[in-house]
């Protein structure tokens, strides 16, 4: 009798998909980095929650902490650059946790030998401008240089610190809750792909990279405790982020596809590249899960902000099927599979 192994053997090497923000990355984190997480009991939200950041109790409030490394290629892309991305990405993760007061960021840079100083200055100018826009300073940092060929250009890590009175967890959805997206989807990933492939596209396709702290403050002010889940749909896009929100809350999400805002240039690029905008990274968008009674008030508050003009209600949490997305195309319904990860590496 043939014996089959009880499980598929793990690949002994790390693949690019393990950094893709989807199922492969989550499995790697669970199998490697979560080992021993139970050794510590956290008063708040710790590593095991695999949220956008941690929330550590500090008296009657929470210290929100997050960290993010940025490896994007190319360093400069339509609508942004690695400097803006490194600030916005971290500010957005703080905001997604319910932060109401930004305290500071750290910045660690690793530079390849031979990198042009003028380019580094441009990146830093962009970081400063984005810090001003978000209203948060860089308070400490670290600089390392590696030999030529030992890394590709520049890697930036930022960590962020903020305070919250109430943590918005990413497992808070219940059946009936509405899902708001704060604007058009797929712009960042498609703009970077188009730049990398030197696609000539009609219209101006630009990354949406932006700090969302102020916009999220307006949503929190309008929705109060009715804001029950938030996530920025970065790698793997809206599809990946909604799968995560659904799985953690033990609900399904019915996605109203015709309601999903997609810019014309992004739609054109997605058709050319054969990639669904729902699967592509955003860097200036949030998914906000709200109780139905506050949905219209939160939507109106988000739309009143310049970064939220195209916001829309794109879905509803449903009791079944748990952990899955049901896409209502307007012509019928089908399951939307969870992406393995971002279709392209080095997108953020």
Enumerate binding residues for Mg ion (CB under 5 A).
52, 93, 232
Spatial contact of 157 and 67, defined as CB atoms under 8 Å apart: yes
Cα dihedral: 216, 129, 198, 17 (round 10): -50
Least separation, in Å, of the C-beta of 231 and Mg ion?
6
**Judged by CB, which is closer to Mg ion: 193, or 286?**
286
Least distance from Mg ion to the Cβ atom of residue 5, Å: 35
CB closer to Mg ion, 52 vs 81: 52
Write the CA distances from 266 to 3, 181, 263, 340, integer angstroms: 50, 16, 5, 22
CB of 23 to Mg ion, least distance (A): 16
Q: Hey, which bits of the chain come out as E strands?
A: 44-45, 54-58, 61-70, 76-77, 80-81, 101-112, 138-146, 154-164, 178-181, 227-231, 252-256, 287-290, 312-318, 325-328, 333-336
Q: Calculate the CA dihedral of residues 334, 339, 343, 345 and round it to 10 degrees.
A: 160
Three-state SS at 113: coil
Cα distance between residue 125 and residue 8, in whole Å: 48
269 or 285, CB closer to Mg ion? Answer: 285
Is the CB of 93 or the CB of 177 nearer to Mg ion?
A: 93
CA 228, CA 308: separation in Å to the nearest integer?
Answer: 19
When the beta carbons of 249 and 318 are compared against Mg ion, the nearer one is 249
In angstroms, give the least distance from the CB of 66 to Mg ion: 8
Could you tell me whether strands 178-181 and 76-77 are parallel, antiparallel, or unpaired per DSSP bridges?
Answer: unpaired
Handedness of CA 151, 152, 153, 156 (dihedral sign): negative
* Minimum distance of Mg ion from residue 102's CB (angstroms): 16
CB 234 to Mg ion: min, Å: 6
Phi, psi of 91 (to 5 degrees): -60, -40
Nearer to Mg ion, 68 or 276 (CB): 68
Q: Minimum distance from CB of 207 to Mg ion (Å)?
A: 16
What are the tokens at 265? 């240039």
Strand 138-146 relative to strand 101-112, pairing: parallel
Q: Which residue is nearest to Mg ion (CB)?
A: 52
In this complex, which beta carbon is closest to Mg ion, that of residue 232 or of residue 338?
232
């Amino acid at each position: 009798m043939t014996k089959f192994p009880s499980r598929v053997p793990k690949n002994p090497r790390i693949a690019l998909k393990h950094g893709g923000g989807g199922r492969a990355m989550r499995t790697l984190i669970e199998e490697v980095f979560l080992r021993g997480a139970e050794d510590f009991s956290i008063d708040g939200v710790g590593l095991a929650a695999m949220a956008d950041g941690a929330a550590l109790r500090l008296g009657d409030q929470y210290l929100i902490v997050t960290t993010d490394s940025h490896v994007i290629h190319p360093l400069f892309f339509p609508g942004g650059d690695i400097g803006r991305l490194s600030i916005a990405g971290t500010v957005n993760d703080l905001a997604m946790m319910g932060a109401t007061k930004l305290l500071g960021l750290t910045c660690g840079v690793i530079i390849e030998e031979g990198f042009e100083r003028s380019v580094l200055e441009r990146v830093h100018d962009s970081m400063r401008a984005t810090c001003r826009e978000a209203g948060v300073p860089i308070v400490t940092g670290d600089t390392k240089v590696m030999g030529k060929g030992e890394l590709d250009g520049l890697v930036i890590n930022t960590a962020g610190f903020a305070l919250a009175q109430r943590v918005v967890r990413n497992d808070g959805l219940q059946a009936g809750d509405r899902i708001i997206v704060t604007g058009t989807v797929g712009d960042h990933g498609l703009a970077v792909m188009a730049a990398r492939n030197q696609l000539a596209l009609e219209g101006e396709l630009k990354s949406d990279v932006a700090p969302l702290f102020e916009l999220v403050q307006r949503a929190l002010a309008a929705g109060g405790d009715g804001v029950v889940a938030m996530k920025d749909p970065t790698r793997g896009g809206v599809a990946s982020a909604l799968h995560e929100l659904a799985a953690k809350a033990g609900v399904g999400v019915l996605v109203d596809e015709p309601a999903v805002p997609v810019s014309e240039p992004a739609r054109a690029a997605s058709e050319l590249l054969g990639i669904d905008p729902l699967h592509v990274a955003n860097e200036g968008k949030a998914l906000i899960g709200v109780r139905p009674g506050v949905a219209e008030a939160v939507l109106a508050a988000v739309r009143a902000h310049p970064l939220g003009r195209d916001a829309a209600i794109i879905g509803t949490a449903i009791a079944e099927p748990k952990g899955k997305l049901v896409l209502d195309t307007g012509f019928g319904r089908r399951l939307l599979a969870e992406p393995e990860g971002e279709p392209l590496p080095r997108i953020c």
